[in-house]
Amino acid sequence: MEHIYFIASLWLSLAVLSAIVAYHLRISIALVEICVGIIAGAIATNYFGANSLGNNLEWLKFLASAGAIFLTFLAGAELDPKVIKVKWKEVLIVGTVGFAAPFLGCAAIAYYLLGWSTQASLLAGVALSTTSMAVVYAVMLETGFNKTEFGKGILASCFINDLGTVIVLGLLFAPFTYKTLVFVVVTVALVFSLPPLTSFFTKMYGNRTAAIRVKWISFILFAMGALAIWSGSEAVLPAYIAGMVLAEFSSQNHAWIRRLRSLTVGLLTPFYFIRAGSFVSLPALFSAPLIFVVLLLGKVGTKIFGLYPIIGLFRQESKERWYYTLMMSTGLTFGTISALYGFSHGIVTEFQYSFLVMVVIGSAVIPTAIANFKFLPKHLLPVGAEAKRKASPPDGLSEE
């Protein structure tokens, strides 16, 4: 038991260090946690051996997975149904192009330039077609754009993008069985039943019990996550759908969202982001850096060439177009999930998997850093948000 406490304290010390660094550098804490994970993983592997950091321990994997699930739910809960109805054309077009351009482009690069097999190339296209809901939402939360129609539009476009990734991954690789049908039926039932059930619990027990809404949502997310994994899907998909169908409810009930956000960002997501960074193999990167460069340029380049002119149809101001495009160029959650799916099912080799993960993580760091340093459209921030951002922790949370 003392080993568990030691590992937990070690990882949380990295989380505290990340928060301090992020505060002084004024960049997203999610990006700092990834970079800290890369450094910590390299040091631990070099001096203490593989897995000495404990990143493959089952309980730690659970905490990291829970962090991705809850953060994805929160991202879905930030969607404004009214904004989506008004911006449906923008969201649908940007999200579809955001998936299709890198999927086709990166698959072609892997097949024709790197000489990967057809299956491995298609898997690379899927893994590098994603956006990162976790990173984008964390940045939207930090900047205050999550409260604007601009930020909500980006989040909605990211959802359409990743929905395309999930669908194509299933069509190309995942077996369709009766389990898939069960998952789809239960998910559809969840879409219709979750809002009235949550409203009932709130009316009957809200503010009268110890955070029953947080417990209720946690139960739903874990139950649907278990069903998703059983069916061959991924736990973050129903989490995003649950958040999306409760978006209107969440906008009317701020207290429980703040509690859930504090739990998620304060405890769970550091395990997810630091763990994602810890899997990066620096020796593999140094052994063939050209592969990394080609795939990273392929992912980000196809996103930019595909999206920048399309976004120009809806956003005329240069900084807005570049910020929107670069946010859509990020990758992490579904990218690493797709890469791991391919590796665990023998579609890609360990070498190919390592580069896919490194490129996905690189795309989480580089475009986001450039967007925030160079193209942040401050004129779209809510009144007082910039001053608040400079005075508050980079994760957008005050001590509650």
User: What pLDDT shows up at residue 324?
Assistant: 96
Q: What is the pLDDT of residues 370-400, one digit of tens each?
A: 998 889 998 888 765 555 555 555 444 444 3
- Give CATH for domain 2-391: 1.20.1530.20
Residues with pLDDT less than 50, the chain:
394-400
Q: What pLDDT does residue 86 have?
A: 83
What is the rounded distance in angstroms from the CA atom of residue 352 to the CA atom of residue 360?
Answer: 12
The answer to whether 324 and 308 are in contact (CB under 8 A) is: no
CB 213 within 8 A of CB 221: no
Look up the pTM and report it: 0.79
- Domain residue extents for the chain: 2-391
Q: According to the model, what pLDDT value does residue 398 have?
A: 44
